[in-house]
Amino acid sequence: MSSSEAMAPVRLIAHAEDESTRIEVFDGNLNVVPGSSRLGETTVDVLPGVYAVRFQIGADYVQRIAILAPQSPETHIWLNDADAPRFATSAPVRHTKSTREFHREPAQRLSLSPPLPGLGGMLGESHLLVFARDLIEGRHNDPAQGLTLHDMKGELVADFGAVGERNPVDRWAGAHLALAAGVYRLRLSRGSRRFTEQIIYLAKGWQTQIFLLAGGVGDSDLDRRVNLASASVLMAKPYEGFNPERPDLRWAESALRALRQSGNIPGSVRSEMLWEKFQNPMLGIYAGLLHLRRDHIDPGLLRQVFHNLMGLVGPLPDVLAIGWGLALRDQNIKKDALFMQALDRPGDLATPPMLCASWELLVEASVLRPELVPAGSFAERASTRLTAAGPWFSWSGELPPPRDEPEPAPEPSLPGVWGKLVPPGVVEALTMGTLGFALPYLANLLARMPMAGYFLYSSRFTDVERRVAQYVYPLVDQQLRTLVEGDEALTAEVIEGMKGRGTDEAGLVKSLKVPAGAALRAVWGLVRKLLLQPVVPHRLMLPGFVTEEAHRNKILESILKALQEQSTTLRHKRGGEPVNALAFLLLRYRGSPAESSESVPTATSLAQLLYENEYVIGEEANAPGTAALDSILAGMRAQVLAELEEQVAKQKIEFAPGWQAQVLPDPTAYKAGALLPAPIEQQAGMTGSSS
């Protein structure tokens, strides 16, 4: 045998019965063999020698040694469940680190006991088992304290700190309820106003089982609560209940762990096929989502997973996400009208999926179908409050109410001056839902509006609008702008680095984790609030005002235009240029473009609007009260009056007697075109001095 034959690579295949086990092969120096890291199964071709095969679940692993002799046939290393690493799970499933006999027994018994009704008193056709437990001996508080179930309106359905059974000695509390099939919010409260929620789906004819472990080692007994992030969610037929001996439950638990890290990629397809045998929809969902992480998917298999899940539990958002994930990866599926029709159910996506991995697929799909997640829906609003909760889609606190925001103009272009401000193509893009076209325009708009960075932080702008603005044009952030100020090279680097980013719609929705429809509405909101309906009129709005108020007289026009270069004491609290005098007049007499009222605003309503949008008076940053606004107007009136008197004295212009009272009149008596008195030639219909 030649030395080259002796050192020819040989094949090593490692398998784990639990498909979600991460397998890595280590060489003789205990370095990972490149490309060996896979879930469930891995195959490597390596030189003969001694290798360590590591099977890891969570933080724990077991190791096997593979001795690969020269010219040996394929060597298989197996790990069965009995030898697998014991990982901790919230469900007291067999062969896990956190299982306890004194938790397994009551959980199983409760799951098979007659269910209780919810607060309404009606027994529904779906079952819910909630079982909270604490592993630390010596804890005395109720592990279910602060845990409640609510309907989608927020009404309390069950308080798990009060219903069901509990055993303080063994540190568990559980309840088995029969509720109407549908969507619920599982809430964990920490104090009177702080809470975290996640979504729960109860399917007709199924028992949804939620297991939770108390966390917070080191906390006092009073503060010790369950941890939603590590919740286990399982489903079973009610007559089967919770059976901790079922091997598929352990697989479901480890698949759920695998979903927490994007680098976990399955190595074989056994579990995708096995899940159905056990009629375990949650394992089917986990396996489907994990399968979509592969470089090469099996469309036929995923299609079957999708259809079977639809048959078992219906169009839950997580099931639809798998369908959309398949459509995103396989062009042939997109051409399948029937399959796509089955996916096109925005009504079912008004509530979010249970898993973050599902949400990421739906967000990606929304680039193709911006209306996929309905505007203002619970799902969309919850996505703006996403919080850390392991693999679960979870949010904190009350969601913002649906905003009554105007939709983009339905016309393909805006009339008059607006048409010049917003090109027709952009309006069309905003109307037709094409983010890719609208984003570069927004980036350009933000680049030309240095004040935008100050405005964005007022309550008028939504979180999504702020995040979209920062994504497409990072320099809108005043902190970043300050950092690079005066450094041309660095500014150029930032701008260069942004190139291409503004047009990357998929990148935007993935990064922000908001649906494309919401991102598009945010773009429209930004365009509308910054450009079309700003709180204080911007410079582009002023020429029209001058034209309307100057009576076509050069002198009046000149006096008004000069006001544009004069600052008032009104300014934005966060910085930027003060409001110019002409913009102030337009604001005071015609009202804020942000408010659609046709009538002249009262000083009180204007002061309130300015206050809400963080405008202040002077360096002292006083609130913009009515007296302050009146004082600014009075000063301007005196100034304009003096200028006109000078022009009258020089006989450059002539007014009818009593004209002084018509200079910047009392706003309550103002009508458009009557900001200044009309010159006499004008009154006689002469236009000789007009420009």
Judged by the rule CB under 8 A, the positions of this chain that interact with other proteins are: 7, 26-32, 46-52, 58-59, 63, 65-67, 88, 135-136, 217-218, 229, 260-263, 383-388, 390, 395, 457, 463, 466-467, 470-471, 474, 477, 479-480, 482-484, 487, 490, 493-494, 496-497, 513
Q: What letter does residue 679 receive in the DSSP assignment?
A: P
CB 626 within 8 A of CB 604: yes
The distance of closest approach from Cβ of residue 28 to other proteins in the complex, given in angstroms and rounded to an integer, is 2
**63 vs 660 by CB, closer to other proteins:** 63
Nearest to 281 by CA among 178, 208, 362, 172: 208
**Cα 226 from Cα 608, distance rounded (Å):** 44
- For residue 413, the SS3 value is coil
Task: Check if the beta carbon of residue 144 is closer than 8 Å to that of residue 130.
Answer: yes
Closest separation in Å from C-beta 133 to other proteins: 13
CB nearer to other proteins: give 160 or 471.
471
> Smallest distance, Å, CB 398 to other proteins?
14
Q: Which two tokens stand for residue 245?
A: 């001996």
- CB of 659: closest distance to other proteins in angstroms? 51
- Tell me 602's DSSP state: P
* Nearest partner of 417 among 549, 593, 598, judged by Cα: 593
Do the beta carbons of residue 18 and residue 41 sit within 8 Å? no
Q: How far is the CB of 104 from other proteins (least distance, A)?
A: 19
3-state secondary structure of 201: strand
Choice between 99 and 383, CB closer to other proteins: 383
Distances (CA, A) of 538 to 215, 359, 421, 450, 579: 53, 39, 12, 12, 9
Min dist. Cβ of residue 282 to other proteins (A): 21
Element (H, E) at 4: helix 3-6
Closer residue to other proteins (CB): 495 or 641: 495
The tokens for 629 are 């606004």
For residue 355, give the DSSP letter: B
Tell me the three state secondary structure of residue 67. strand
Q: Which is nearer to other proteins, 16 or 675 (CB)?
A: 16
First and final C-alpha spacing in the chain: 103
CB of 488 to other proteins, least distance (A): 12
Shortest distance, position 101 Cβ to other proteins, whole Å = 19
Query: Whole-angstrom Cα distance, residue 568 to residue 29?
Result: 73
194: phi then psi, degrees, rounded to nearest 5: -95, 125
- Considering the complex, state which of residue 86 and residue 260 has its C-beta at the smaller distance from other proteins: 260
Q: Which is nearer to other proteins, 259 or 606 (CB)?
A: 259
Q: Which CB sits closer to other proteins, 484 or 674?
A: 484
Question: What three-state secondary structure class fits 350?
Answer: coil
| Strand 207-213 to 195-202 pairing | unpaired
Q: How far is the CB of 390 from other proteins (least distance, A)?
A: 6
Neighbours of 39 (CB within 10 A): 27
State in angstroms the smallest separation of the CB of 611 from other proteins: 19
Region label for 497, one of left (φ > 0), alpha (ψ between -120 and 50) or beta (otherwise)? alpha
Cα–Cα distance, 435 to 426 (Å, whole number): 10
Residue 310 vs 495, nearer CB to other proteins: 495
Least Å distance, CB 236 to other proteins, is: 28
Residue 216 or 424 having the CB closest to other proteins: 216
HSE toward the beta carbon, residue 195, CA cutoff 13 A: 18
Report the nearest approach of other proteins to the CB of residue 184 (Å). 21
Map 496-546 to HEC letters: HHHCCCCCCHHHHHHHHCCCHHHHHHHHHHHHHHHHHCCCCCCHHHHHHHH
Residue whose CB is less far from other proteins, 215 or 376:
215
Q: Which is nearer to other proteins, 176 or 187 (CB)?
A: 187
Q: Are 576 and 567 in contact (CB under 8 A)?
A: no
Write phi, then psi, for 345 (nearest 5 degrees): -135, 70
Torsions phi, psi of 11, nearest 5?
-100, 135
Whole-number minimum distance, CB 177 to other proteins, in Å?
30
Nearer to other proteins, 513 or 561 (CB): 513
